[in-house]
């Protein structure tokens, strides 16, 4: 059991904006535990649980999985970790997601990273990823971008209003972008 309330960074940005790539580097450099909501959901599909088929259909359509499912996967990962520093990658994606997290986990993010990337760059990266993701096709990418604009971006605006957002231009090499991310976490490490 944990005595400290955890340090939580939400890492947001459109499909292919580089959330996962940068989270891996932050986790390595600063000792965070990286929780990708999408990865947790994809593991849930593979585990043959009762919600697997529904989650698969939802991801295929680029829609948002019911909040309770995602939040409980994140909660369990936080609770079973020895760490107290978490990067929550690709969540929350809607107002409802955010409210469910506050209710079920009982925490708010300390900081929010937002990777700002032009749409054509995001599409190019996703379609050239080639890792067999069911949602990396042009039809689903268009749907993911629509959901990003209508439901995800308002979350970024919400946290901007709370002064929590660090907006990062996501164009450049992986290392160039990490050099912009690094100072944000250097301030919080240990």
The contact set with Mg ion (CB under 5 A) reads 20
> Which one of Mg ion, ligand UP5, none is in contact with 173 (Cβ closer than 5 to 8 A by kind)?
ligand UP5
We find the least distance from the C-beta atom of residue 16 to Mg ion, in angstroms, to be 8
Dihedral sign, Cα of residue 148, residue 153, residue 154, residue 155 = positive
Least distance CB 160 / ligand UP5 (angstroms): 19
Contact between 167 and ligand UP5 by CB under 6 A: the answer reads no
Binding to ligand UP5 by residue 181, rule CB under 6 A?
A: no
Among 8, 35, 41, 87, binds ligand UP5 (CB under 6 A): 41
What's the count of helices (H) and strands (E) in the chain, helices before strands?
9, 5
Rounded to 5°, the CA angle 10-65-86 comes to 25
Report the partner that residue 174 touches, choosing among ligand UP5, Mg ion, none (CB closer than 5 to 8 A by kind).
ligand UP5
Q: Which two tokens stand for residue 122?
A: 């995001």
Which uninterrupted H or E stretch holds 111?
Answer: strand 111-116
The rounded radius of gyration (Å) of the Cα atoms in the chain is 16
Q: What is the dihedral of CA 167, 164, 175, 145, to 10 degrees?
A: -50
- Give residues in contact with ligand UP5 (CB under 6 A): 13, 15-21, 37-38, 41, 58-59, 62-65, 70, 90-91, 93, 97, 125-126, 129, 135, 144, 172-174, 177
């Amino acid at each position: 059991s944990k005595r400290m309330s955890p340090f939580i960074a939400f890492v947001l940005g459109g499909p292919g904006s580089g959330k996962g790539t940068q989270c891996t580097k932050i986790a390595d450099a600063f000792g965070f535990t990286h929780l990708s909501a999408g990865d947790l959901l994809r593991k849930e599909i593979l585990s043959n649980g009762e919600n697997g088929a529904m989650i698969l259909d939802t991801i295929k359509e680029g829609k948002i999985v019911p909040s309770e499912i995602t939040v409980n996967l994140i909660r369990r990962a936080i609770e079973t970790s020895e760490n107290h520093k978490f990067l929550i990658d690709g969540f929350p994606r809607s107002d409802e997601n955010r409210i469910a997290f506050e209710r079920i986990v009982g925490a708010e993010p300390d900081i929010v990273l937002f990777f700002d990337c032009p749409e054509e760059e995001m599409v190019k990266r996703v379609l050239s990823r080639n890792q067999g993701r069911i949602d990396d096709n042009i039809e689903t990418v268009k749907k993911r971008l629509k959901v990003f604009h209508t439901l995800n971006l308002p979350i970024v605006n919400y946290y901007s209003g709370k002064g929590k957002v660090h907006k990062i231009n996501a164009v450049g090499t992986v290392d160039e972008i990490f050099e912009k991310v690094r100072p944000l976490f250097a301030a919080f490490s240990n």
